[in-house]
Chain A
Amino acid sequence: MTAEAPPVVTVDKSQDSAPPSGVRAWLSRHPLAAYAIRRFGLYLVELWGALTIAFFFFRLMPGDPVRTLIQTLQQNYIYNAQASAELIARYRTEFGLDGNLFVQYVKYMEKLVLHGDMGPSLINYPTPAQTVILRSLPWTIGLLGISAVLAWIFGVVIGAIAGWRRGKLGSTITTNLAIALAHVPFFFVALILVYVFAYTLGMLPARSAYDSSIAPGITPEFIGSVLKYGLLPALSIVVIGTFGWILSTRMLMVPILGEDYLVYAEAKGLKGSRILTRYALRNCYLPQITAFGISLGFIFNGNVLVEQLFNYPGLGTTLVTAIQQLDFNTILGVTNIAIFSVLTAVLLLDLLLPLLDPRVKYWK
C-alpha cells in the first residue's frame, strides 16, 4: 500500500447549493415532473394546432361544403327537390355552419372539447358523428394497434440481428428485401393476400370483421371468428411494417456497432448473444420507441385502404363511406379522432421513455 490514499472523488451535486423557493424550486427538485408538465403542455399545443389545421382545412376547401351537404341531405332524406330557406337555415344551425368562419370554429371546438360532440352525421343521420365513430373505433384500435406493435417487435429484433450479422448472406438478403419493400403500401400486400388466400385458395374470408351468423359477444366462437377475419388485414400491415422497422433498426444498429462500448464489450470477452442484447439492442431499441409513436399516423394512413379493401368496420371504412357521401362532420370527426389518438400515443411513449432510457435529458 502507498502512503497516500487517492483523494475520494465526490459526486457532483449541482443546483442544490442555493435552495430556491416556490414552484420553480419544486420543479427543479422534481425534474421528471417538470419534464412531464412541459411535455404535456407541448401536447396540448400540438393537439390544438392539429385540430385547428384540420378544421380550417375542411372549411377552406374549394367548393361549397354547405351546399354539397344540403344537397346530399336532400337526396338522402328529403325527397322533394326544393328545400325551403327555413329548412336550409335549420340544417345550417344543426350542422354548425351558420355564422362566419371564426364563429363556426369557436362553436365547433367548444362542442368538441366540452361535450365530445362532433355534430350529426350524414351517413347515419341523425345519429351524431361521434356515435358512428365510436362504434368503429375499437375495430381499428384492435387491428392497427396489435399489428403495429407486432411489426415493431419483429422489425426491431430482425433489424438488429441483420445489423449485427452485416456482410453475411442472410443479412444482405434481408436488408435488400427491406429496402425494396419498406415503403410499399400495406394495401398492395393486402390485395395479393386476398387474391391468393381468399379468392384462389378460399381459405380465409375476404371481407368483413367477423362471421355475421355468430352473435357478437365474449364467446370462443365470436373471438375465433374475429381472429380469423382479422388475419389477412393484420398480416398485410405486419409484413410491410416489419420490413420498415428492419430497415430503420439496421440503419441505427450499424453506427452503434462501431461505438467504443461495443469494442469494450468484445474486449471483456462477453458472449456474442449478450453483447447483442445488453449492449447493441438496448441502445438501438430506445430511439425506436419514439419512432413508433411518430409512425402511427403513417400507419393509420395505410390502414384506411386496407380496411376499405376488406370492408373492415373500422375508422378507415367509416371515413371512406363518409367521403363518398360528403359527410362533413364524420370526415372531420374521424380525422380528429385519429389526430387525438396518435398524439396521445406519442405523448404516452415520450412520458415512458425517461423511465427506460437513463440518458433522456428531461431536466432543463
Chain B
Amino acid sequence: MPMRLLHAVVRTIRNSRRLATGLVILAAMILVALFSPLIIKLIGGGTNPIEVAAYEKWLVPSADHLLGTDQFGRDVFAMVIKALSVSLQIGAIAGLISTVVGVIVAFVAGYKGGWIDGILSTFTGILLVIPTFPLLIALSAYAKNVTLFQVGVMISIFAWPFAAKTIRSQVLSLRTRPYVDLARVTKARDMEIIVTELLPNLLPFIGVGFASSALGAIFGLVGLEVIGLGPGGVIDLGQIIYNAITTGALTLGAWPMFVVPIALLTLLFAALNMVNIGLEEVYNPRLRGVAGE
C-alpha cells in the first residue's frame, strides 16, 4: 500500500514538469535550511559570521564576504542563509496549522452541508474578502515578545481560509460521486467514508491548500517584518529587508542586503506557486486536456 502510494506520487510528478520544477526548488531550499548551521560555520571559518561586530561594518561584496556586511558588521550571506531557514519554518508551521484547520472546516462544511455549511462558508468568505492585514499587524503590535511558533499561530488565523476554500469545493464535488453514495447506502459511518473514500482523493488539493497557506504565511510575516513588527530575536528574510530600509542601505547602495532576500523569497513564492498550479493541472482534466504545453 505505501509502495503504491509512492508510485502514484512519482507518476504525478513525472506527469508535470511544472510540479517537478517547483518541488526541486523547494527541496533545494529545504536542504540549504537543514544544513544552514554547517554552511554558516563554513562561511565564518572559526568565527560566528552573524555575531554583531564579527567584521567591519558596511563591507562591499568581495571574495571573503560574497554579499558584503551590514551595519553591525555581520556577514550578509550568512544572515541570508540563516533567515531562509527561519522563513521556511514559518511557512511550514503556519502552512500546517492552516491546512489542518482548513481541512476540518472544509470537511464539516462540505460534507455536512445545510446550515452548517452556510455559516462556515459565509464566515470563510468574509475572512477571504475583507482586508485582514490590519488585523494581523494590530495583533502583532499588541502581542510583544512572541516566539516563532506563536507568530505561526497568529498568521494561521488569517491563512486557513485559503486552504478551506480550495478543499471545500473539492469535498462538494466528491460528495456527489457514486462511490460515496454507495458507501452511504451501505451504512458506513461518516468518519469511515471521510477517511477511506474522500481523504485519498483530496490529497492533491490538500497539497494545494498547504502550498497556498504557506505562501500566505510567509507573505504575512514578511509584511510584519518590513514594518518592524516581526517576532523578536529571530532573523528572517523580511527582517533583513527591514534592516536594509531602516539603516539606509538604499541610499548607501548596499543592494545585496535587500535584493538577495527579495530574490530568494520570489524564488520561494514561485516554487510554491508552481506546485499549486502543477497539482491543479494534473488533477483538473479540463486544464490538462488542452493545455498544450
A: which residues have CB within 8 A of B?
45-46, 49-50, 53-54, 57-58, 61-63, 65, 68, 166-167, 172, 175, 179-185, 187-188, 191-192, 194-195, 199-200, 247, 251, 254-255, 257-258, 293-294, 296-298, 300-301, 304-305, 308-309, 319-320, 323-324, 326, 331, 334-335, 338-339, 342-343, 346
Contacts and interface: CB of A to CB of B under 8 A. Distances in A.
Nearest to B284: A255
B20 interface: no
B293 A167 contact: yes
Contacts of A297: 128-132
A342 B129 contact: yes
A283 to B, nearest CB: 14
Contacts of A251: 277, 280, 287
A191 B249 CA distance: 11
Given A183-B273, A255-B290, A346 B129 contact: yes
Contacts of B229: 323
A257 B293 CA distance: 14
Interface string B137-170: 1110111100000000000000000000000000
Given A53-B126, A54-B135, A297-B132, A257 B142 contact: no
Given A63-B144, A191-B258, A338 B130 contact: yes
A61 B138 contact: yes
Given A167-B292, A323-B227, A339-B130, 12 more contacts: A50-B130, A166-B293, A179-B18, A191-B245, A191-B258, A195-B250, A251-B277, A255-B290, A319-B137, A320-B227, A323-B229, A331-B138
A182 B215 CA distance: 11
Interface string B87-129: 0000000000000000000000000000000000011011111
B67 interface: no
27 contacts: A68-B142, A166-B290, A166-B291, A172-B293, A179-B274, A179-B277, A180-B266, A181-B270, A184-B265, A184-B269, A191-B245, A195-B255, A195-B258, A199-B250, A199-B253, A251-B287, A255-B286, A258-B289, A294-B129, A297-B128, A297-B129, A304-B227, A305-B223, A305-B226, A326-B141, A331-B134, A335-B138
Given A181-B270, A309-B245, A334 B134 contact: yes
Contacts of B227: 304-305, 308, 320, 323
Contacts of A320: 137, 227
B259 interface: yes
B138 A185 contact: no
A184 B287 contact: no
A185 B143 contact: no
Contacts of B273: 179-180, 182-183
Contacts of B81: none
A175 B20 CA distance: 17
Interface of B: 18, 122-123, 125-135, 137-139, 141-144, 215, 219, 222-223, 226-227, 229, 241, 245, 250-251, 253, 255, 258-259, 262, 265-266, 269-270, 272-274, 277, 280, 286-287, 289-293
Contacts of A343: 129-130
A195 B144 CA distance: 32
A63 B146 CA distance: 12
A328 B107 CA distance: 37
A319 B131 CA distance: 12
A68 B127 CA distance: 27
Contacts of B255: 195
A37 B214 CA distance: 38
Given A57-B135, A63-B143, A339-B130, A255 B122 contact: no
A49 B134 contact: no
A220 to B, nearest CB: 31
A61 B292 contact: no
* From B125, B127, B133, B273, residue with most partner A Cβ within 10 Å: B133
A181 B245 CA distance: 22
A49 to B, nearest CB: 5
Nearest to A51: B130
* From B123, B130, B132, residue with most partner A Cβ within 10 Å: B130
Contacts of A50: 126, 130
Nearest to B125: A46
B222 A338 contact: no
Contact of A58 (B138, B259, B272): B138
Nearest to A45: B122
Given A183-B269, A305-B226, A192 B259 contact: yes
Given A49-B122, A166-B291, A195-B255, A61 B129 contact: no
Leading 8 A-B pairs by shortest Cβ distance: A301-B133, A180-B270, A300-B131, A255-B286, A258-B290, A297-B131, A335-B134, A167-B292
A184 B270 CA distance: 8
Contacts of B253: 199-200
